[in-house]
Amino acid sequence: MRWIRVGAATVNQTPLDWEGNLARMRTAMAEAEQAGVQFLVFPELSLTGYGCEDAFHGLAHSRRAEKHLVEFAKSVGSMIVVAGVPIRLQHGLYNCAAFLAQGRIVGIVAKQHLPGDGVHYEPRWFRGWTAGRRTTVEIGGAAVPFGDIVLDFGGVRAGAEICEDAWVPGRVAHQLAMGGCDLIAGPSASHFSFGKHEIRERVVIEGSRSALACHVFANALGNEAGRMIFDGQRVIAAGGDVLARSELLTFREVAVTTAVVDVDLLRMRRARTTSLKPSDEKVHLVEVPWTWKQADAAPTKPIGPATGWVAGPHRKEEEFARAVALGLHDYQRKSRSRGFVVSLSGGADSAAVAALAALSYRMAATELGTEEVARRLPGTAPEPESFCGGLLDTVYQASANSGDETRDAAQAVADGIGARHAVWDIEELVQGYRARVEETLGRPLTWKDDDIALQNIQARVRAPGIWMLTNVRGALLLATSNRSEAAVGYATMDGDTAGSISPIAGIDKNYLRKWLRWLAETGPEGIGPIPGVMAVCTIPPKAELRPQESNQTDEGDLMPYDLLDAVERLAIRDRMEPAEVLASLEAEWAPRTGGREALAAHVRKFFALWCRNQWKRERYAPSFHLDDENLDPKTWCRFPILSGGFQEELNELSR
């Protein structure tokens, strides 16, 4: 029997933070070494950060990455380390897993399959490696084996399957199985989306089962570069069985998961599996002298969080709260900001944003302690007894059309999350702008003729003051627009869209309302409910931009939010034409909306507003990617600002 302790390390990296990235990797390596790990895997592009984007194009960036890789390799002594790094050959840049041992780079595996869908744009920066191709690359004055290789460390074979290489038909693990691999490194930068960790774990388990090897999977962690959030998942599986799994969405910068694998047992199972026919002719072996130490413990039953919020009820609500909280925490500290400011309207959107900002502190403090959070956020003065640590300001800005109901709801939310709250009367400012425009036009403005302008000025007047408070605080202003309203442009540019980051622009309004009720009644595990947010759950969504007697509601201006979301998914996610959308929804929605023609009118409205408001989506503050339905035109859903507006397609609805 040969027992080897393997480890998966995740590190919360930042693009171009060379010193910090190396320091976190060294910390993880020291933690793994103390645990007796002999084979340690870091995430994809861990040395540079996954989100360098067009900085990857720079020749100086590549040279610096190679210089730091050589430097890091010198600190690797008693274990084998797999680190993610970009490597440039004469004809292109490659996304690679570098094997480090004995103070040097002993081999580099290049990624074969590059994702170019959704939020991923790897083909813009990298080239995919051709299976079976090998060469050498000179790094630090030494020739290093490069490409599609398997390394033999003292009789134990190891290879790498880099992120997308595991998700395609004929995955790389199958090739490694033909090479008799015992250990498969799985460096990954797989962005967070709801429930995705379950899929990843199945991918790891299946790879270990089909290859009858030990698969060590390490995903990236945190909000690296602004939009994508990584959950830091770590899974170790052998022969189809999970040996260890990690927590998700930790606020720690470094986390290591280890397990002991019985290599001889895996080999015995490979030997008796007649359908598996390894052949050294199909692999390029790189021999590395190595002496393995017997692990200090026998293989154990699966360890890690199999209960709690990861597997318990209300998982999506927990995931949403924790992912956005981690995203906001990292965005705040990496942008060197001193807290958050939210224009709190008394509605669901701003209440959700404010609650998430508060949770970003509370969850970090619960896991790390208030002293560590204070160290991470220099210049702030967290208050240990406060739910949000004194890092959140909220302001209710009332015009003549605002009501006591929303004013009271905003106060209840602010009290519930411990925010510093203020109430501002903006009516004088609204009337001042109105008077200037009326003077210029030579006529009075009326709700009959100037409805949109009179609504928008109230929202826009709210922006300068809240921006000023944000600047004085040295904080981040959080925009409050959601995805449903972004789809149809139901937001005032330079009003409720004002902000440095838009944390809920990737989530639909209907879900937000459901999540707020969960937050009020149940709340995240270890945190508990925030009853104060219930105040907004009983108020129909309304902008309060028209006079009170108009009884304005969001759904009255648009359509039922659940219908809007259904149309959006079919039209944008599934790329259906208007007639196809109508046909798909008719059976369920025609009776609920007053018949086919009424439903067709809603479909027409959606497509018309979608096309008309692309320019608004182009100007939204960066948002977090939370699922596979994002509307962000910069990184997900591209659409022309100017278009024919689906006129031909919409005309077909009347036939």
Q: Give dist(CA 252, CA 368) in Å, integer.
A: 7
What amino acid occupies position 56? F
Interatomic CA distance for residues 369 and 373, integer angstroms: 7
Please, what is the angle between helix 348-368 and helix 315-334, to 10°?
A: 80
pTM (2 decimals)? 0.95
- Element counts in the chain: helices (H) and strands (E): 21, 21
Residues 546 and 620 in one domain: no
User: What are the CA-CA distances from residue 279 to residues 132, 166, 177, 222 (Å)?
Assistant: 13, 21, 9, 40
Read off the CATH number of the domain in which 482 is found.
3.40.50.620
pLDDT digits (tens, 9 = 90+) for 215-255: 999 999 999 999 999 999 999 999 999 999 999 999 999 99
CATH of the domain at 583: 1.10.10
**pLDDT over 90 percentage in the chain:** 82
DSSP label at residue 128 = P
Instruction: Indicate if 468 and 353 belong to the same structural domain.
Output: yes
Residue 628 shares a structural domain with residue 518: no
- A 10 A CB-CB count for 358 gives 30
Q: 544-567 pLDDT, tens per residue?
A: 888 888 888 888 999 999 999 999
* 3 state SS for 341-391: EEECCCCHHHHHHHHHHHHHHHHHHHHHCHHHHHHHCCCCCCCCCCCCCCC
**Of the residues 252, 271, 306, the one at which a domain ends:** 306
Could you list the residue range(s) of the whole structural domain that residue 651 is in?
A: 559-655
> For residue 58, is pLDDT > 60?
yes
Please tell me whether residues 241 and 118 are part of one structural domain: yes
Confidence of residue 303 (pLDDT cuts 50, 70, 90): low
Question: By 3-state DSSP, what share of the chain in percent is helix, strand and coil, each rounded to 5?
Answer: 40, 20, 40
Residue 218 parent element (H or E): strand 214-219
Average pLDDT in the 374-400 region? 85
For residue 287 the two structure tokens come to 């021999």
How far is the C-alpha of 217 from the C-alpha of 82, rounded, in Å? 11
Rounded to an integer, what distance in angstroms lies between the CA atom of residue 549 and that of residue 555?
17
Q: Indicate the residue type of 21.
A: N
Domain C-terminal end among 306, 327, 352? 306
Out of 97-111, 145-159, 594-608, 620-634, which region has the weakest mean confidence (pLDDT)? 620-634
Indicate which CATH number applies to the domain containing 230: 3.60.110.10
Kindly state whether residues 211 and 72 are assigned to the same domain: yes
SS3 per residue for 578-602: HHHHHHHHHHHHHHHHCCHHHHHHH
Q: How many domains does the chain have?
A: 3
CB atoms within 10 A of CB 3: 18
> Both tokens of residue 458?
């109230």
Same domain, yes or no, for 542 and 652? no
Q: How far is CA 439 from CA 220, 435, 443, 505, in A?
A: 58, 6, 7, 37
Q: What is the pLDDT of residue 313?
A: 65
Same domain flag for 202 and 143: yes
Domain C-terminal end among 535, 557, 579: 557
Do 571 and 608 fall into the same domain? yes
